[in-house]
Structure formats: C-alpha cells, structure tokens
Amino acid sequence: MSNCQLENNEKITIRHPDDFHHHCRDGPATASVLKHAYPRFRRCLMMPNLNPPVTTTKLALEYRERILSAMKSNGQDPAMFQPLMTLYLTDKTTPEEIKKAAVLKNSDGTSTIVSCKYYPAGATTNSDFGVTDIKKLYPTLEAMQEVGMMLCIHSEVTHADIFDREPVFIEEIMKPLVEDFKTLKITMEHISTKEAVDYVLNKAPSNVRASITPQHLIYNRNHMLVGGIRPHLYCLPILKAEPHRVALVGAATSGSPKFFLGTDSAPHPTYAKQSGCGCAGIFSAHCAVEIYAEVFDEAGHLDRLEDFCSSFGADHYGIPRNTDTMTLEKKSWTVPKTYEFGDDTVTPLKAGEEVKWTIL
C-alpha cells in the first residue's frame, strides 16, 4: 500500500526513501557524510571502493562497525538507519567468500551484505583492483546466482571513448552476461544514456534493473563544459548530451519498476576536485531527495515519486519497504557553497544555488 499523499502539488508525503548507491567514505569524513544521509534515507547501500577496497566479508563487517560508530558520534540512532554492505569483486573473489557473506543476517532478519560490486579495472575511482575479465568471475557469479545475491555493475568499458563506454559495455559485457546467468539479480548502477534506458526497459529480463542519479537527471555535458570546465560536475559515468538526459527523466518518471533511486553521492575534498587532475564524483546527499522531487514535479509526475524513491529499489533488493514517512514542501532554499567533510570541506551539488523543494 502506498503512503503517498499529495497536496495541490505543493506538499507531498511519501514512504521514507532508501539510497541504493552511496559513498559514505571512511575515517573522519564518514560522520560528516552521515549528517546529510541520515535524515533523508532509512537505508544506504555502501560502496566498497575504499583504499584499500572492501574485498572480504571480514572487511565489510569492520567497515559497517565504523559507520555505526560514526553515527553514534553524531548522536544518531542506529535503529533509524541501516548501512547495507557490499563486497568489491576482484579477479580473485571466490565462491566460498560469497557463501560466507550470504549467511550473515541483521537482527531483523535482513541480509547484512546484500550485494557485490563489479568495477571494470580502471573504470572509476579506486577501481584499479577491479575485474580485468568478467569470465574469470563466472564461478563466483554462479555462487551469487545460487544464493540470490545482487550484482551491482559500473556499466562501462575502459577501451572506448568516454562518452560511448556505457553503450559498448551493454553490447560487449551485459548481453552475454545476462544470457549466461538467467536468474542472477543485476543492478546497472547510475545509467547515463538512452541506450541503457532502452536496454533495461525493453530488452533486459526483469531481474535486470537500473538506478539513476540526480545529476544525470538535471545536467547534460554542456553544463560541465560550456564557458569553462566545472570540475564539481565531473563524475563517472560522465554527463552526456541532452537527448540522454531527457531519456533518463522519462525512465525515472515513467512509473516502471525497472528504475529506482541510487544517488552515487560521492564526496571528495574541494581541493581534490579543483586540481590539475580532478577526481570524479558529485556530492548530492544533502539535497538528493529534494532534487528528485523537483524533477518529478517538473515532469508532471509527482505522484510517482514514492515508487521511484522508496518502493522499486527495495523490491528489487528483496528488502521490506519502509513504513515511516517523509514530507517535502515546495519551498526554496539555497545550498551552502561548502560543507564540512572530516578535516576538509566538500563542494556540494548545486553549491550556492537554489533547490525548489525542502524536507520538513
């Protein structure tokens, strides 16, 4: 049953959202990130591309404890927020490691480690330990299929032009993978092209679904490049041309259960973005739900916001939907130019700009 209540397109109450793609970082920065994620999400799927990466069950459990400790340092209630853990796949990840991770349960009976992340080696931040050849992982993928563990994919190759990497990945990797593992649950994370929309919506089986970020819904590559390079809009997958953005908005607001919220909120210190070789990633945890509300409102489908933010992702991961609610109001606020990020600062999405919706 939906909890969505819409008041004249000016106020909406929805089931509390989850974020199925979140970078919480490690060390002092984690508490800073949680200050933004905690009020907006009941659960976040924590990405494992730390340095060193979270490659084993033991490392995932240790990382989870550090996240919970950071919450406590903020005075946040662990009962109100659950970190969902992910293993970083390498060429050496074994079926035995998958089976070890799969049996771990939280006190409510849900899985502690819910997914494994496939990073093509060298494709994005801290992916150098990633997979060099998907075929090397076939025994491990068979174990994942057997225990029902989700495969999360950074859906890009590294040998194609940076604007073409996702479509090439679909042809070279996704289609054979789906054919070889017909019941493996798969999430194509942060899709960024009309080709990916078409593949997930019209060609992939129901066990293949996709998450969509706020930045890929509101920006195209012109926003990043025209009039000078804007390093804080550089992310991977890179922003694409306007027809791709339009296709993504259409997919997100369509009401199709194949698309759901995954912010890929990925903070880096401001100095690391504004450098001679700036790193990829956009920090959106502070306003992601509000941006999604703005996109759905402008598309005339605010009534579909709850399913995208709070239902379809949980259903895909086999996790019970949240029962508490969040209310947003069409009331503008201005994003600060920086936020605290451990001992540094982070420049957030929409820094110094207006966001049209507010969480009450």
Active site members = 264
Torsion 54-161-168-238 (CA) sign: positive
Distances in Å between the Cα of 212 and the Cα atoms of 51, 95, 216, 262 are: 25, 29, 7, 6
Between the two ends of the chain, the Cα-to-Cα distance in Å is 23
Find, among 241, 118, 242, 123, the residue nearest to 189 by Cα. 118
Element (H, E) at 339: strand 339-341
Neighbours of 131 (CB within 10 A): 24
Find, among 116, 43, 113, 49, the residue nearest to 85 by Cα. 113
The DSSP bridge pattern shows strands 208-212 and 186-189 to be: parallel
User: Which three-class secondary structure state does DSSP give residue 170?
Assistant: helix
CA 311 to mean position of chain CA atoms: 15
